[in-house]
Chains A and B, each alone.
Chain A
């Protein structure tokens, strides 16, 4: 199953609302997770089951979607949110990740 994220690069300012889209090449129900990765660090789970916020993750992060189209929304960007974001499908093996979306400061 191929996952395509858009955009691949995103430039935004602190306080902005941003949305990242992940499209699956076939239906994956709600078996989608979102991760945040900062340079030199391991990825961090933000959302699983498409819309369930991982414990400890700020509520400005939200996820939605099912089937083949999913979104990650950050309601008000904070300085610590500038990072690369990946979606991952866990519907069937081989598990796959999207190519990533790099969120940069405008």
Chain B
């Protein structure tokens, strides 16, 4: 069974940092591109970042470029999102998702709250 489990969310002050993790199991993690998607409270989905299977290609939304860093460790079947210089508008549930045709498997999400 495919499982994606996010962790690392929490309450952080504006300007602070947080590192999210996504543990994958049940599929060949190293063969798939991976993604982060977020959803602010009561709002729609926003794509955040993508990383190719070998980490050769990395993309970010303009809203997080220069502040967030996506990475992966295929030996540990894990995806990461380092978030620096956090702002109130980064408050959201953050999901990791794998991609084949679409974003076919999603984790349950981890809540990040940026507030003083």
Contacts and interface: CB of A to CB of B under 8 A. Distances in A.
Interface in B37-72: 37, 44-47, 50, 59-62
Nearest to B101: A48
A47 B106 CA distance: 15
Interface residues of B, number: 22
A94 B101 contact: no
A8 B45 CA distance: 14
Given A42-B95, A94-B62, A33 B44 contact: no
Interface stretch (A9-17, A70-78, A96-104): A96-104
A78 to B, nearest CB: 22
Given A94-B62, A97-B44, A100-B44, A33 B102 contact: yes
Interface majority SS (helix, strand, loop, mixed), chain B:
strand
Q: Interface residues of A toward B: which range?
A: 20 to 34
**Which of B50, B103, B104, B106 gathers the greatest number of chain A CB atoms within 10 Å?**
B103
Nearest to A33: B102
A36 B69 CA distance: 28
Interface in A79-106: 86, 88, 90, 93-100
Contacts, number: 59
A19 interface: no
Contacts of B104: 45, 48, 54
Contacts of A96: 47
A94 B63 CA distance: 11
A35 B102 CA distance: 9
Given A35-B45, A97-B45, A99-B44, 9 more contacts: A35-B102, A42-B109, A45-B101, A48-B104, A88-B103, A90-B102, A93-B59, A94-B62, A98-B44
Interface of A: 33, 35, 37, 42-45, 47-49, 52, 54, 86, 88, 90, 93-100
19 contacts: A42-B107, A43-B95, A45-B102, A45-B103, A48-B102, A54-B101, A54-B102, A86-B44, A88-B47, A88-B102, A90-B99, A93-B59, A94-B47, A94-B59, A94-B61, A95-B47, A97-B45, A99-B44, A100-B45
